[in-house]
Amino acid sequence: MTGVRTLERPAPLADDIARVEADPPRRIPALDPLWLVVAAVSVAVAAFLGHQLMAWPPHEDEALALLTGRDSLGGVISHVTGDRGGAPLHFLVAWAVAHLGLGLGGLRAVSAAFAVGSLPLIALLARRLAGREVAIGTVVLAAASWIVLFHGVYGRMYSLFLFLSLVSCLALLRARDSGTRADWGRWLVAILLCVAAHPYGALVVASQGVAALATRWDRRRATVAWFATMAILAVPFWLTDIVLAGRFDVGVGGGGAKLGGPGAVVDYLYEAAGDMTAGWPWVLAPVLIAAGVGLLTAPRRAKVLSAAFVAVPAVAFIAARLGSSAAPESRHLIFVAPFFLLCVVLGIRWLARGIRPAVGLAVGTLAVAAVAWAWQRTPPLFEWEPSARQEAREAASRYVASTGLDDDLLLGYDPLFLGAWEDNRAFRATVLPRADGQLLLKILRRTPTPLGHGVFVLDKSDTSNVDPQLYLAPRRPLPEEAFSARGFGPFLVIRTREPVETIDGYLFAARQAMLLGQSLEIGDADINRATIERAQALYDASRWGDASAGASSDSR
């Protein structure tokens, strides 16, 4: 039309509008269901562990770590590598906690952090081996299991061992695939830390070695070279493990007082499988069937790794000679749990023909059963210990802290002594192991003389007693005039009235205290008395050449 101007879009604006009209609106990327589940179960486990952190009563192994950690860094390393043996990383963590002034709560918080941190690693490992759906089921079962929940609270750092074993497994898979020095170097660091975390790290190394050679035989030279390097660098840890093995009467050749044959090993593995899921036979039987089916139907790499992580420890236990004081428990196989649970989920999926609702229902039901088993297995983890016992222990700890002297000699790493140190950080009394006569005598020999007062605790409420009670009437060992005794609910604190001065004097006082404990049916008194008499025999032999002293016993 003449005389009418047509408005045209400026070129840049027209291009932008055309681009918007041509491109469909972008959708927000869907969140991966696996990581939604991982986030949910991690938050749930963290909340549970945080709330129940101090529910379970303090344990002497936790007291051992923290009371050892009072020493200087050099002193801790010397004690662990020279006297006690075993993996030092746990004690280094306890040393850091002790010197930060955090106490038992801090040690347990570290343990809880590693337990929660292990869940994403379990998911990563399971996804890499068997896919996303299997990873979801595996991490749900792991989060509900006693072996994860309990060791998230127990400050013995088994959760650290689990965490590092998972890191090393993931690093190994990456290194085997890439073959680069950088990835092998990362695996080397991870596996050395794993070995430093627990003596059973040697089983992790052996399992990984078998699996690595079986899955990538074409790269066997690199595998052997890197594993040989690792074995050489880990020599300091192997040496400390030898010290520990000597104290526990562990060797090769089969037999021994513990796990003396294939049948005993099978029973032990059965018990461990129950603590990874639910230990009732009517639950565990179908679980084991599912695990067997899962192992047979697993992808090749998952099959080889899972088989190696079960078979290698089993063969090692059959070949080992374990003395009466070396008693493997399910927690020692915590590094096997991710692979066992992976096979369980794979088996459930195969038996359910891959029908997702059926798989989800089965996994969810088993997770509920696992929590119920954890509750039955360790009731205080959910219900807390009786408040009367807590209050009595705290009062007894305050009494020990207020009356204690630097030259006191405390028998056993009793949690009551840990409470005394937490109440008074200047509390520097010497703690003697209660179940290793040789180590007890060794520490007595290097303690400055004259020796101080002997202090002993009898606990009537301990679950190892024939009839646990929350009250114990105060009594004194014989001769009564040589001892003072103070009762705090179920706890009886016994103290020599005068310094014992000599090793003979201490061993006599300790034996008298344990004789009283035996008369009161205190569960640990018989072990403690045997340790004291063992130390006396060794001491006599060193002076008079008596060769009747036998081998060392336990470790505490």
**Three-state secondary-structure class, residue 411:** strand
Q: What is the DSSP string of 466-492?
A: SS--S------PSSGGGEEEEEETTEE
Condensed to tens digits (0 to 9), the pLDDT of residues 428-473 reads 899 999 989 999 999 999 999 999 999 999 999 998 888 899 999 9
Report yes or no: 156 and 162 within 8 Å, Cβ to Cβ: no
Q: How far apart are the C-alpha atoms of 117 and 99, rounded to whole Å?
A: 24
pLDDT band at 381 (very low <50, low <70, confident <90, very high): very high
Report the pLDDT value the prediction gives residue 528, as an integer from 0 to 100: 95
Tell me what the mean pLDDT of segment 250-269 comes to: 68
Phi, psi of 474 (to 5 degrees): -60, 130
Give the residue among 121, 139, 136 at the shortest CA–CA distance from 32.
136
Q: Does position 3 have pLDDT exceeding 60, yes or no?
A: no
Report yes or no: 341 and 138 within 8 Å, Cβ to Cβ: yes
Both structure tokens of 320? 């080992």
Report yes or no: 187 and 172 within 8 Å, Cβ to Cβ: yes
Specify the higher pLDDT residue, 26 or 301: 301
Tell me what the mean pLDDT of segment 535-553 comes to: 72
Q: How far apart are the C-alpha atoms of 476 and 420, rounded to whole Å?
A: 22
Tell me what the mean pLDDT of segment 26-36 comes to: 74
Is the pTM higher than 0.85?
yes
Question: Would strands 409-411 and 454-459 be described as parallel, antiparallel, or unpaired?
Answer: parallel
Specify the higher pLDDT residue, 195 or 426: 195
Give the largest CA-CA distance in the chain.
132
Phi, psi of 35 (to 5 degrees): -75, -25
**Number of other residues whose CB lies within 10 A of the CB of residue 523:** 16
Report the pLDDT value the prediction gives residue 215, as an integer from 0 to 100: 87
Report yes or no: 118 and 45 within 8 Å, Cβ to Cβ: no
Report yes or no: 276 and 340 within 8 Å, Cβ to Cβ: yes
Q: Cα separations (Å) of 132 from 32, 127, 156, 297, 539?
A: 9, 5, 32, 16, 62
Q: How far apart are the C-alpha atoms of 552 and 441, rounded to whole Å?
A: 11
Both structure tokens of 356? 């997702």
Condensed to tens digits (0 to 9), the pLDDT of residues 289-327 reads 999 999 999 999 999 999 999 999 999 998 876 655 567
Q: What's the burial of 253, exposed, middle or buried (CB within 10 Å: 0-12/13-18/19+)?
A: exposed
**Number of other residues whose CB lies within 10 A of the CB of residue 260:** 14
Specify the higher pLDDT residue, 509 or 252: 509
- B/e letters for 493-508, b = 16+ CB within 10 Å, e = fewer, are bbbbeebbeebebbbb
Q: What is the DSSP string of 277-343?
A: S---HHHHHHHHHHHHHHHHHS-HHHHHHHHHHHHHHHHHHHHEEE-TT----GGGGGGGHHHHHHH
**Three-state secondary-structure class, residue 150:** helix
Q: How far apart are the C-alpha atoms of 2 and 248, rounded to whole Å?
A: 108
Report the pLDDT value the prediction gives residue 556, as an integer from 0 to 100: 43
Both structure tokens of 97? 């906690």
Question: Would strands 409-411 and 430-432 be described as parallel, antiparallel, or unpaired?
Answer: parallel
Helix (H) or strand (E) holding 251: strand 250-252
Condensed to tens digits (0 to 9), the pLDDT of residues 71-128 reads 999 999 999 988 888 889 999 999 999 999 999 999 999 999 999 999 999 999 999 9
Give the residue among 509, 506, 526, 508 at the shortest CA–CA distance from 517.
526
Phi, psi of 54 (to 5 degrees): -110, 15
Q: How far apart are the C-alpha atoms of 341 and 328, rounded to whole Å?
A: 20
Report yes or no: 463 and 524 within 8 Å, Cβ to Cβ: no
Point out which residues pair with 125 in neighbouring strands. Answer: none
Both structure tokens of 136? 């979801």
Q: Does position 225 have pLDDT exceeding 70, yes or no?
A: yes
Q: Cα separations (Å) of 419 from 99, 151, 392, 427?
A: 16, 21, 11, 10
Report the pLDDT value the prediction gives residue 20, as an integer from 0 to 100: 47
Mention every residue, 6+ apart, whose C-beta is less than 8 A from residue 340: 273, 276, 291, 306, 310
**Number of other residues whose CB lies within 10 A of the CB of residue 244:** 17
Q: How far apart are the C-alpha atoms of 397 and 502, rounded to whole Å?
A: 26
Least confident of 402-406, 426-430, 475-479, 546-550: 546-550
The share of the chain scoring above pLDDT 90, in percent, equals 79
**CA-angle at 381, arms to 290 and 143, nearest 5°:** 35
Considering the chain, what is the average pLDDT of its residues? 90
Q: Does position 242 have pLDDT exceeding 90, yes or no?
A: no
Q: What's the burial of 473, exposed, middle or buried (CB within 10 Å: 0-12/13-18/19+)?
A: exposed
Report the pLDDT value the prediction gives residue 89, as an integer from 0 to 100: 95
**Amino acid residing at 166:** L
Q: How far apart are the C-alpha atoms of 299 and 308, rounded to whole Å?
A: 14
pLDDT band at 254 (very low <50, low <70, confident <90, very high): very low
Report yes or no: 147 and 276 within 8 Å, Cβ to Cβ: yes
Q: How many CA atoms lie within 13 A of 224 on its CB side?
A: 5
pLDDT band at 550 (very low <50, low <70, confident <90, very high): very low
Both structure tokens of 345? 């989920």
